[in-house]
Amino acid sequence: MPILALFLPPLSLVPALYAAISGALFDLLLLVLGPPASSAPGLLHFYQRSTLVLCSAGLGALFAWSFGTIGLVAWQAETVAGEQRYCMTVPIDSEAHYRPVASLFDLCGLKLRALVTPMVAGAPGSRWSNHLLLRVQSRTGPESGEDRGVTIWHWSHRQRRFIAPEPSTASDPFEDIGTRPTRDSCIAVAHFVRHLPIFSPATVGTQ
């Protein structure tokens, strides 16, 4: 758990409940498919080794995908932005508030999560955020950190690329995040990812 805490932001109650249910179902499957305790010692040892190999392979694939996402995101960002100045932000809550990406570690696949607040009674609807926003300056302007003259792309894990913004006619500010100014922007520079440290100072200080 201490190792996983470095890769995963604090989980809300709903994702934690999903993880607990998934773990319980997996344990139940192992109990059903596993040999009985009265089986031959060789069979029991083979089952134990096979279970350990499967779990290790699953964790290895998960972390390989997570770290591989860093390179994929960096390459896609450089491809989309070209020679234009850009920066990236990640969500801090489901109310469309973001913070600047501070390190390459922020781009791990396991850390790029779309935070969602489910619809509750009396609320107008669910609130959501994107996994990652790429803010590309569409024209030359002062590096004030504001979103004037900025085109905003969002990252898609499913398509493994940044999705171009679509024109929005919605009056809901949460649906118009691609065009509205926000206070949660970042300072765009040329080749933004090349200036990022591997870990942010805050992350290094907690290790």
At residue 6, the pLDDT reads 44
Residues 6+ apart with CB under 8 A from 160: 72
- Return mean pLDDT, the chain: 74
Per-residue pLDDT averaged across 162-187, rounded? 57
CA distance 25 to 23: 5
Q: Which pLDDT tens digit goes with each residue over 81-122?
A: 999 999 999 988 877 789 999 999 999 998 898 877 665 554
Q: Tokens for 103, please give them.
A: 């390190």
Buried b (16+ CB within 10 A) or exposed e, 16-37: eeeeeeeeeeeeeeeeeeeeee
At residue 12, the pLDDT reads 40
At residue 27, the pLDDT reads 65
> Model pTM?
0.68
Name the band, by pLDDT with cuts 50, 70 and 90, for residue 145: very low
Per-residue pLDDT averaged across 27-37, rounded? 71
Q: Which pLDDT tens digit goes with each residue over 43-90?
A: 778 877 877 887 788 888 888 999 999 999 999 999 999 999 999 999
Sign of CA pseudo-dihedral 13, 18, 20, 21: positive
Name the band, by pLDDT with cuts 50, 70 and 90, for residue 20: low
Which is nearest to 196 in space by CA: 64, 63, 89?
89
Domain residue extents for the chain: 2-71, 73-206
